[in-house]
Structure 1
Amino acid sequence: MLPDNIIGWLVVGLVAGALGKLIMPGRDPGGLIVTILLGVLGALLAYYLAPLVGLETVRTNPSWTNTIIASTVGALILLILYRLVVARR
């Protein structure tokens, strides 16, 4: 599921982070770099959490579609956690 080079990481991060921010709009900080980091961290989160919830296909069928979908879900989880932490301040 994970990209095997830096360009792949940047593309997955940009697409997943942008989709995450598009699905869940709001006043989140950051521009392009934060969006890419959000997507990359979402990809890592999805890679390690998907098998725990019974979604082995993320690791066993590493297509770009599965990668982008899982990374976007991971980015959404991170956005939700960010907003929960910021709302408590």
Structure 2
Amino acid sequence: MTVTGIITALIVGLIVGALGRLVVPGRQHISILLTMVVGIVAALLGTVLANAIGIATDTPGVDWGELVVQVIVAAVGVALVAGLTGRRRAL
């Protein structure tokens, strides 16, 4: 993978993670780094899932269907990570 590919993956992961975080209701007490990691994983899994269900992912320009799938996967990932690693309230 080239340096440009790595930088692009980081930027796309940050955007997808942020969009996924916006979709999940309420506050999520997770770091921006963890959001970015969830976003990168969601971008990769979302692409695979979009291909599996027949959404074209190699068109010129923005693949809106693929992006929607990635954001949905990111929202699920953010909700899971926030539930597992978020701040805990003292009883």
Whether the TM-score (by the shorter chain) exceeds 0.5 is: yes
Q: Which has the larger radius of gyration?
A: 2
CA distance in 1 between counterparts of 2:53 and 2:6 reads 28
Equivalent position of 2:73 in the other structure: 74
Shift of 1:72: 1.5
| Count of paired positions | 79
Q: In 1, are the aligned partners of 2:17 and 2:78 still within 8 Å (CA)?
A: no
Between the aligned partners of 2:45 and 2:29, the Cα distance in structure 1 is 20
TM-score of the superposed pair, with normalisation by structure 1: 0.67
Moved >4 Å (runs of 4+)? none
- The residue aligned with 1:14 is 14
Within 5 Å, give how 1:13-32 maps onto structure 2. 13-32=13-32
CA contact (8 A) 2:14 2:39 kept: yes
Q: 1: distance between equivalents of 2:51 and 2:63?
A: 17
- State the Cα distance separating 1:26 from its structure 2 match: 3.3
Q: Which has the higher helix share?
A: 1
1:48 positional shift: 1.1
Task: Structure 1: give runs of 5+ residues left out of the alignment.
Answer: none
Equivalent positions of 1:1-89 (< 5 A) are 5-55=5-55, 57-58=56-57, 60-61=58-59, 63-64=61-62, 66=64, 68-80=67-79, 82=80, 86=84
Query: What is the aligned-residue RMSD (CA, Å)?
Result: 2.5
Higher mean displacement: 27-36 or 7-16:
27-36
